[in-house]
């Protein structure tokens, strides 16, 4: 997950949305979602530290109404694509990796190697993994849809149980078989 201090210059507001995986932080500015963070797992097993809003951010629920609605619909199995305006920040490579993530259809998965090939750099699967780990807007930019070449669950900022939950939700709703 990204360091909030690196993106905080453009984040002015935040709010939370309740989901089946816990309360997720949404942050951004007037027109864009710039950051989403996973909650801490109820059993404390997640291998990450949930991000907290910075002191300079203001809580602004109305600003994130669309994002909250779309995430709620996604978790209810009623939404397969997001339309909320996003503005992630990253290197050119990261941005290309995140665009490629958005090309993975709902209910399907890709390997890191497949994603690297999709962005025109087939030998960059490790770099793709690093870019996916730096994804500032998980779930909406679906880094959970990338798995190991053998079909194994690999590292994920929200923890492997969350990744499995998201893939199960999408597979169950879409009626498709995951890799």
The residues annotated as belonging to the active site are: 143
Strands 22-28 and 33-37: antiparallel
User: Is 19 strand, coil or helix?
Assistant: strand
**Token pair in block for residue 103:** 């090309």
Residue count of the chain: 179
Q: What is the DSSP letter of 108?
A: -
Helices and strands in the chain, H and E counts: 6, 6
Specify whether the CB–CB gap between 82 and 140 falls below 8 A. Answer: yes
User: Is 110 strand, coil or helix?
Assistant: strand
């Amino acid at each position: 997950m990204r360091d909030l201090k690196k993106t905080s210059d453009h984040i002015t507001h935040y709010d939370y949305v309740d989901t089946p995986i816990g309360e997720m932080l949404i942050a951004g500015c007037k027109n864009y979602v710039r950051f989403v963070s996973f909650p801490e797992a109820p059993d404390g097993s997640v291998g990450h530290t949930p991000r907290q809003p910075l002191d300079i951010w203001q809580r602004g629920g109305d600003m994130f109404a669309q994002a909250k609605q779309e995430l709620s619909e996604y978790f209810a199995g009623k939404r397969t694509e997001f339309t909320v305006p996003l503005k992630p920040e990253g290197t050119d490579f990261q941005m290309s990796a995140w665009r490629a993530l958005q090309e993975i259809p709902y209910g399907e998965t890709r390997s890191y190697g497949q994603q690297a090939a999709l962005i025109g750099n087939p030998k960059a699967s490790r770099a793709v993994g690093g870019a996916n780990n730096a994804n500032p807007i998980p779930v909406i930019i679906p880094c959970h849809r990338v798995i190991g070449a053998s079909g194994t669950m690999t590292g994920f900022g929200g923890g492997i149980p969350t990744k499995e939950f998201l893939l199960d939700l999408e597979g169950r709703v879409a009626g498709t078989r995951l890799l």
